[in-house]
Amino acid sequence: MRELRSRLIGNVVILFVLGFMGMGIDNKAHLGGLASGFVLGKIFCGSPAMNVREKQIANALGWLAGLVVIASFAFMILHYRDPLPGQA
């Protein structure tokens, strides 16, 4: 876990440094993802499902999250060349 934690911290630092260098990385979006991931990790970490119903709900939410990520990438690819709002 310590190795994973140190790699994650290193990657976060690199992302923010690249964002401040003007590499086109949105630091606000990454900060929001970092914060929400941290909060969700604290909420769900170490809390095993109590029964079969909770396992089913957790499984469905996991699949839903995966589908949302895939849909986000699909929209990004489809609209990659669109002008930004206010830049028509």
- Same domain as 73, residue 59: yes
Full-model pTM = 0.52
- Same domain as 62, residue 85: yes
pLDDT at position 71 is 95
pLDDT at position 86 is 75
pLDDT digits (tens, 9 = 90+) for 66-85: 999 999 999 989 988 888 77
Q: Number of folded domains in the chain?
A: 2
pLDDT at position 69 is 92
The Cα 27–Cα 13 span in angstroms is 11
pLDDT digits (tens, 9 = 90+) for 9-61: 888 888 788 878 876 677 788 788 889 888 888 887 777 767 888 888 888 98
- Same domain as 40, residue 54: no
Query: Three-state secondary structure along the chain?
Result: CHHHHHHHHHHHHHHHHHHHCCCCCCHHHHHHHHHHHHHHHHHHCCCCCCCHHHHHHHHHHHHHHHHHHHHHHHHHHHCCCCCCCCCC
Domain span at residue 56 reads: 49-88
Closest Cα to residue 19, out of 32, 5, 33, 29? 29
